[in-house]
Every structure is written in structure tokens, then in C-alpha cells.
A and B are shown apart, each in its own frame.
Chain A
């Protein structure tokens, strides 16, 4: 486990109490806004505003109820949105892990011409923020064909808008994931490959039986780092998803900005879409923190 480095809290002269105090103050800074969200989701709109003036903002006092949550379900098909987001995020993460680790494997393990250029090109894509490409991409995906199973025959269609796939496929290949896998794979000794090769393993066999089983931390890291943007995606689904049957959770926030903004319901909805991720993270936090630590980001 982790070694005690850099700050030696136990030594005389080091203001140990101060350090702990610092940790606690920082803990408040990082958690209070989120606590505010959860507490406010239980209060009526008027009380949220009147409580802003005191510590009551962070306490579940006054008129506490689940009315806002009831209101959320009356206003938006929240269960459907949650299901859509789970669907999109899980598929993006799962397929992304396979596709990106395969690419990283080819780049780090196999020797082929142009591999350095491909790696550099992939990393260069990191500098382009998605927002600036969204519009050309809308136009372009709409031109793309798609094979569909119609009865027993495959037919070409152009149905990309308003689907799950338009929310998934553009985000599968991810330069950051490839890079993280590449880094991690490079730290696995190549002697293992050679041993497997002697036993007659193919490249794919090496990938599946040697490299991937050792790459748990990298997989965990990539999973979390691709899950978050998929779960939080907002601008893109706004542009390409029309029906409530395919709409993800973040877009749902817009439903509450009517002429009279329902702040309590916004808080309730925000809590509903945030807390599951928080719980998931807390449950896996030890594994995650350790995995990202050992997946070794080495520049």
C-alpha cells in the first residue's frame, strides 16, 4: 500500500493538527455545495431561497418532503432518461475498452511501419474540443449509411439521428484511453509476450491471455474516465436526439426551466442523476484510486 512520502505528519515540528485542520476545511469546501444540492432537493422553492442566508442551507430542517421528487417524475420521464443514459454510457465504456486497448496493443507491442506517426496523430486529436466539431458532425453523421436488418435482409438506411448509436459510436475511439492503455502496456515486460509466442500464441492470444489480464488498473481507469463524459453528455444529444425514448439525463435538466423555474425540482433531479454516480464511485473508490495510481501516468 501507499508509502508515507513527502509530508511526515508524525515528526516533531510539523504542525500535525494544522494539517488535519486543513484537510477538514478542504473537505467542507468540496462537499458543502453537493450537500446543499441534496438538502435543497427536500425543500420547497421558497424555503430554498430563504435558507440561503444561514447555515440552514445545509441542514434538512423546516418543511422537508419528497414532493420535489414526485414533481420530477410528473414533469419528465426520468426513469426512461436514466435507462437511456445507462445504456449509452455502459456500451460506450465496454466497447471503448475493447477498441482502444486493441489499438494501444498494436501501437505498443507490434512493430509496423508508420506506427509512431499513427500514435502521434492519435494524441494530437486530444487538442480539439468536441464543441467545435459538433456542427459539421451533425451534418456528416446524417449522410452516413447504416446497415439495418429488415426482416431477414440487410438494407442500407440513413437513420442516424435520434438513435442510441449516434450517441455512442462517435465516442468509442478515444485518444486519451488509447494513450493510457499505451502507457500501461509499455510497462508490461515483453519477455511475457515471447514466452507466450513460444507456446504458439497469436498476437490476439497475447493480447487476450497475457496483456489484458495484467491490465486491470488501466481498464478501471479508462472505464471511469470514459463513463463520466458519457453520462454527462449534453450538447451532442441536444443536437441529435429528438424523442424522449432516446434522450439522456443531462438534457432532462432543461425541462425545469419553464416560465417559473422549479428550483427544488432541479435540485431533486440533479441529485437523482448525480448520486448514483457518487455511490458507484464511493463503492469503487479504493480500487479506482489505486488503479489510477498503478496505471502509472508517466508522461
Chain B
């Protein structure tokens, strides 16, 4: 009964992955009159000497290192806020979830209006500071471009993880809270000793899904910054698409992808190791 899924995965996943592996050791081009040749590790040698690659690796790590904890934490705060018995919580849940159902392409276009020099954000900054603070050209300032992308990415995706946390919260038996309350515990103590341990499984799941999504950062970069300014927002997936598609260097792009797979595997392994220690 698993065979349809397995066949589809083999045809549409395993084969292309295998092709990518094979291509990484050739000088294949998207458009060329010369047949591809096996070039051994040439692509990798070139890759490791390419400053754009190191920038991509650094940016990808930076993005993930910020987004994973912040998005997970914020999502938990939102989940706690809308899990309380208050009026309109369904309404709040829905609104917090709205960006998730909005396409990232559309979201990226909208946020260009927010970030541009005479855009919404800078007007807000001027208004709340009574003209004392000036904003910046968020996406073109090397120091703010990546943080701007991070804020937008969290804004778009946090609602999804809020729902996952909610699902975890609702699996915690209410009796535990009642018992804790009888013991005269504070809100914080109940969170620390009832809620948090009860969310163990959810935590792992959230950690893994955000990490994988964060490491694959691409659409926002492609629509908003094209990797600039000065390589401050280029990422590994963006680099793979740019070199393989726009620059037609299929073999080289495959090498980028291959290194990326290994990198994600390493990160996952480290994560598994760390979470296992704590359990």
C-alpha cells in the first residue's frame, strides 16, 4: 500500500537527487554545444575558493540562528495568548494565521512598500519619534537587509507554528493545571512545571520544521534583494538557483546543492544530538 507513494518519491525525488549528485562532478551547462565532461572535484575546489559561497553559508546560518529561536518563541507567546479563555480568541487566531495563507511572493512584494526609503515603516518611525529618528533604506543598507528579511519571514510563518503549539497545549490534561493550582503555584511555575514539560514532543517538531524551512530561504531573497547588498543576503539555495539557472552552470550549481544537503544533514544531526542530551 505504500508503493504508489514510494514509486512517486523514487521517480520525482530520488532520481533528481541522484542526477544532482552526478552532475556535481561534471562541467555540465544548461546551454552548451560541448558535451559535459567529468571533472572530478573541480567544482568543489572552485566553490570553496568562492567568497560568495562563504557569504551564502554565513547568511544561511545567521538567518537560521535568529529565526529558529525567535519564531518558535514568538509562536509560543501567540499560542498562549490565544489559548486563554477570552472573548474573540478565534478571531485573533484567524488574524495571526492570515499571513500563512498569503503567498510568499505576494508578501515579499507588499513588504517592499513597507521597507522602501519613503515607505510605511519609515513614516511610522518618524511619526512615533516626532521626527527625531530617521529610518534607513532597509533593504539596501548592508546592516539592515538581512534583519529586514528576518522580520518579514517570521511575520509570514509564525502563525503556522502558533497553531502547532496550540495543538500541543491542548494535549496537556486540564487536571494537571487544576492540581497545580490547588498547590498554590504561580502562573510562571505552572508554565515551567506543567506546560513546558507537556510540550516536549511539540518542541522537537517545531524545532525541526522551522530549521528546515529557515535553511531553505529563497523566495524572499529572489523577490526582494537578489542576494545584495554586497552579498549580505545571498543564501545557499539562492546561490544554487542563480548559478544553475541564470548563469547556466548546471554542474557548479549541483555542487552547491550537494554541499547544501550535507550541511543540512549536519545541522539536523547536531540538533538531534542536542535535543537528545536534554531529554
Residues of A within 8 A of B (CB): 2-11, 14, 19-20, 22-23, 26-27, 29-31, 33-34, 36-37, 52-54, 57, 99-100, 102-103, 105-107, 110, 118, 122, 125-129, 131-137, 139-141, 144, 169-173, 175, 178, 203-204, 207, 228, 231-232, 234-235, 250, 253, 266, 270, 273-274, 277-278, 281-282, 285-286, 289, 292-299
Contact = CB atoms under 8 A, between A and B. Distances in A.
B5 interface: yes
Contacts of B264: 127-128
Contacts of A137: 12, 16
Given A103-B1, A270-B109, A140 B244 contact: no
A133 B96 contact: no
A169 B10 CA distance: 12
Given A52-B123, A173-B4, A6 B190 contact: yes
Chain B contact residues: helix, strand, loop or mixed: helix
Contacts of A228: 100-101
Interface string B254-273: 10110011001100100000
A278 B190 CA distance: 36
A244 B192 CA distance: 56
A286 B80 CA distance: 17
A136 B166 contact: no
Contacts, number: 260
A133 B16 contact: yes
Contacts of A231: 103
B9 A132 contact: no
B268 to A, nearest CB: 6
A19 B12 contact: no
| Residue picked from B97, B101, B163, B265, most chain A C-beta under 10 Å | B101
Interface residues of B, number: 95
B129 to A, nearest CB: 15
A6 B106 contact: no
B64 to A, nearest CB: 13
A167 B86 CA distance: 43
B195 to A, nearest CB: 5
B237 A132 contact: yes
A124 to B, nearest CB: 8
Given A7-B80, A34-B98, 14 more contacts: A2-B170, A5-B83, A6-B83, A7-B187, A103-B6, A131-B216, A133-B20, A140-B19, A172-B5, A173-B5, A173-B9, A273-B106, A292-B163, A292-B166
B9 A122 contact: yes
Nearest to B114: A33
B80 to A, nearest CB: 5
A230 to B, nearest CB: 11
A277 B97 CA distance: 12
| Residue picked from A125, A127, A175, A292, most chain B C-beta under 10 Å | A127
B118 interface: yes
B8 A173 contact: yes
Contacts of A34: 98-99, 102, 110
B81 A22 contact: yes
A14 B187 contact: yes
A287 B20 CA distance: 41
Contact of A285 (B90, B111, B216): B90
